[in-house]
Amino acid sequence: MPRPPYPRNVADFNRMFPDEEACVAYLAACRWPDGFRCPECGHDAAFELPRRRLWQCKSCGHQTSVTAGTVMHRTRTPLLTWFWAAFWMTAHKPGLSALQLRHMLGLARYETAWLILHKLRRAMVDANREPLKGTVEIDEAFIGGEQLGLRGGRQLAGRKALLVAVAVEVRGKGSGRVRAEVIPDATAPTLSRFIVRNIEQGSSVLSDGHRGYQGRDGVAAQGYTHLPRTQESFRLAGTEDVVPHAHRAISQLKAWLLGTHRGVGADQLPVYLDEFVFRWNRRHAPMAGFQTLLGLGTHREPTTYGQITGREATGRPRRRGRKTGLTLATDDPRRGD
Ligand SMILES: [Zn+2]
Q: How far is ligand 1, taken at its centre, from the CA of residue 80, in Å?
A: 28
Q: How far is ligand 1, taken at its centre, from the CA of residue 17, in Å?
A: 28
Question: What range defines the domain where residue 48 resides?
Answer: 1-66
The bridge status of strand 135-143 relative to strand 204-207 is parallel
Higher pLDDT, 315 or 326: 326
N- to C-terminal Cα distance for the chain? 45
pLDDT of residue 97: 87
Q: Do the domain assignments include residue 141?
A: yes
Domain final residue, candidates 261, 287, 307: 261
Q: How far is ligand 1, taken at its centre, from the CA of residue 68, in Å?
A: 17
CA angle 105, 69, 286 (to 5 degrees): 50
Give 17-73 as a DSSP string. Answer: -SSHHHHHHHHHHHH-TT----TTT----EEEEGGGTEEEETTT--EEETTTTSTTT
Amino acid at 119: K
In terms of residues, how long is the chain?
Answer: 337
Q: Is the pLDDT of residue 49 over 70?
A: yes
Q: Do the domain assignments include residue 98?
A: no
Q: How far is ligand 1, taken at its centre, from the CA of residue 298, in Å?
A: 22
Among residues of the chain, what percentage have pLDDT more than 70? 79
314 pLDDT band (50/70/90 cuts)? very low
Cα gap 302→277, rounded to integer Å = 21
pLDDT of residue 188: 92
Q: Do the domain assignments include residue 11?
A: yes
pLDDT of residue 150: 40
Domain final residue, candidates 28, 50, 66: 66
Q: How far is ligand 1, taken at its centre, from the CA of residue 1, in Å?
A: 22
Q: How far is ligand 1, taken at its centre, from the CA of residue 44, in Å?
A: 8
Q: How far is ligand 1, taken at its centre, from the CA of residue 28, in Å?
A: 16
Mean pLDDT calculated for residue range 186-201: 94
Q: How far is ligand 1, taken at its centre, from the CA of residue 36, in Å?
A: 10
Q: Do the domain assignments include residue 195?
A: yes
How many structural domains comprise the chain?
A: 2
Q: Do the domain assignments include residue 206?
A: yes
Q: How far is ligand 1, taken at its centre, from the CA of residue 37, in Å?
A: 8
Q: How far is ligand 1, taken at its centre, from the CA of residue 56, in Å?
A: 8
Q: Are residues 144 and 241 in the same domain?
A: yes
pLDDT of residue 238: 61
pLDDT digits (tens, 9 = 90+) for 251-291: 999 998 888 777 777 888 888 899 999 999 988 888 888 99
How many alpha carbons fall within 13 Å on the CB side of residue 90? Answer: 27
Q: How far is ligand 1, taken at its centre, from the CA of residue 225, in Å?
A: 54
Q: Is the pLDDT of residue 1 over 80?
A: no
Q: Do the domain assignments include residue 274?
A: no
pLDDT of residue 93: 83
Mean pLDDT calculated for residue range 121-127: 80
Packing angle between helix 110-122 and helix 79-91, nearest 10 degrees? 60
pLDDT of residue 231: 65
On average, the pLDDT of the chain sits at 82
Q: Is the pLDDT of residue 325 over 80?
A: no
Domain final residue, candidates 242, 261, 280: 261
Q: How far is ligand 1, taken at its centre, from the CA of residue 64, in Å?
A: 10
